[in-house]
């Protein structure tokens, strides 16, 4: 089994890198991609553990980008994880802009009358403190009942607590991934606000070279559409569960949402060949 999309406690997952490696072995995943948001730290920690466990690890990352004013997630895969120096520097800049946003987001939420501090969210987020960690604190303090309500009432782009963060443009992020020798794959295309088929030529022009056809949020029909678009536009294909652990308990490593995912065994071979 193969799974090329997963998160650890180094971003917004609840499994530590060591626990994720264990979970992969337990569930029969043979090749695992770790794609934390804006950081390689989970992959770096998991690598020696995976080697010991006989698990093949693929170095990955998930970047939040802006495309036509909308937020679009982009996956980067590095089949050879050396020589990522420049990319790591650039990612350091993204992390700094996130920290600056978090300071302003705390101020905004406090202005709205919520008792929440930077220390509290950072205790849950560590190196990559993001809005899901803010949501967690709001739930724990009883301001909201669920992650969804936290976003709807306070954190979503359309909600009253939202503050902007400098996110890279889609094309800029693609270029950084490609320059580092990586494969740039459009994450969970079902979540795009715009029609993906219509966007495809401009995504190709930006340098995109893969699409995540297989994902826990995709129906078989949607997967078929993305495979067809990949074929039509000469894109490689990636796939993964988007495992986050206990925050999304219905999603399982390797098999997706209650078993709805089956990623062909040759996906990684094709990435290598491509
Ligand atoms: P950040 O990168 O800190 O701005 O947080 C973005 C993350 O928050 C995304 O990767 C999603 O996991 C989560 N997220 C964003 N919007 C929503 C939403 N409306 N509902 C639930 N989770 C969301
Ligand atoms: Fe996430
Ligand atoms: Fe995502
Ligand atoms: Zn993800």
Calculate how far, in angstroms, residue 111's C-alpha sits from the geometric centre of ligand 4. Answer: 31
177-213 pLDDT, tens digit per residue, is 999 999 999 999 999 999 999 999 999 999 999 999 9
Give the span between the Cα atoms of 65 and 168, in whole angstroms: 5
Q: What is the pLDDT of residue 83?
A: 81
pLDDT band at 105 (very low <50, low <70, confident <90, very high): very high
- pLDDT for 264: 96
* Confidence check: pLDDT of 22 > 90: yes
Q: Which residues have CB atoms below 5 A from the ion given as ligand 2? A: 12
Residues flanking ligand 1, CB < 6 Å = 12, 37, 64, 130-132, 147-148, 151, 156
Kindly give the number of the ligand 1 atom that is closest to the alpha carbon of 132.
8
Average pLDDT over residues 161-175: 95
Residue indicated by tokens 């990623």: 263
Mind listing the domains of the chain with CATH numbers? 2-84+170-273 (3.20.20.140), 92-155 (1.10.150)
| Mean pLDDT of the 80-92 span | 91
Atom of ligand 1 nearest to the CA of 38: 2
- Mean pLDDT, the chain, whole residue set: 96
Q: Which atom of ligand 1 is nearest to the CA of 131?
A: 3
The pTM score is: 0.94
Q: Give the pLDDT confidence of 123-145 residue by residue, as tens digits.
A: 998 778 999 999 999 999 999 99
61-67 mean pLDDT:
97
pLDDT digits (tens, 9 = 90+) for 209-232: 999 999 999 999 999 999 999 999
């Amino acid at each position: 089994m193969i799974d090329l999309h997963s998160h650890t406690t180094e971003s917004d997952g609840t499994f530590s890198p060591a626990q994720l490696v264990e979970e992969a072995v337990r569930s029969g995943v043979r090749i695992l991609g770790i794609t934390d948001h804006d950081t390689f730290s989970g992959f770096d920690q998991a690598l020696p553990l995976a080697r010991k466990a006989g698990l093949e690890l693929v170095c990955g990352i998930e970047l939040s980008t802006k495309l036509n004013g909308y937020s679009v997630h982009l996956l980067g895969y590095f089949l050879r994880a050396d020589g990522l120096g420049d990319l790591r520097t650039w990612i350091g800049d993204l992390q700094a802009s996130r920290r600056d946003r978090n300071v302003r987001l705390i101020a905004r939420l406090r202005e709205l009358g919520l008792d929440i501090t930077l220390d509290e969210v950072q205790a849950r987020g560590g190196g990559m403190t993001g809005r899901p960690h803010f949501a967690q604190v709001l739930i724990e303090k009883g301001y909201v009942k669920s992650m969804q309500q936290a976003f709807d009432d306070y954190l979503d782009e359309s909600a009253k607590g939202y503050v902007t963060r400098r996110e890279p443009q889609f094309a800029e992020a693609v270029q950084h991934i490609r320059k580092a020798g990586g494969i740039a794959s459009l994450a969970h295309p079902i979540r795009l606000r715009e029609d993906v088929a219509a966007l495809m030529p401009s995504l190709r022009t930006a340098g995109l070279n893969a699409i995540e056809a297989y994902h826990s949020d995709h129906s078989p029909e949607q997967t078929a559409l993305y495979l067809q678009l990949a074929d039509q536009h000469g894109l490689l294909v990636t796939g993964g569960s988007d495992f986050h652990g206990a925050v999304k308990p219905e999603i399982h490593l390797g098999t997706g949402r209650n078993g709805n995912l089956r990623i062909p065994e040759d996906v990684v071979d094709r990435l290598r060949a491509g």
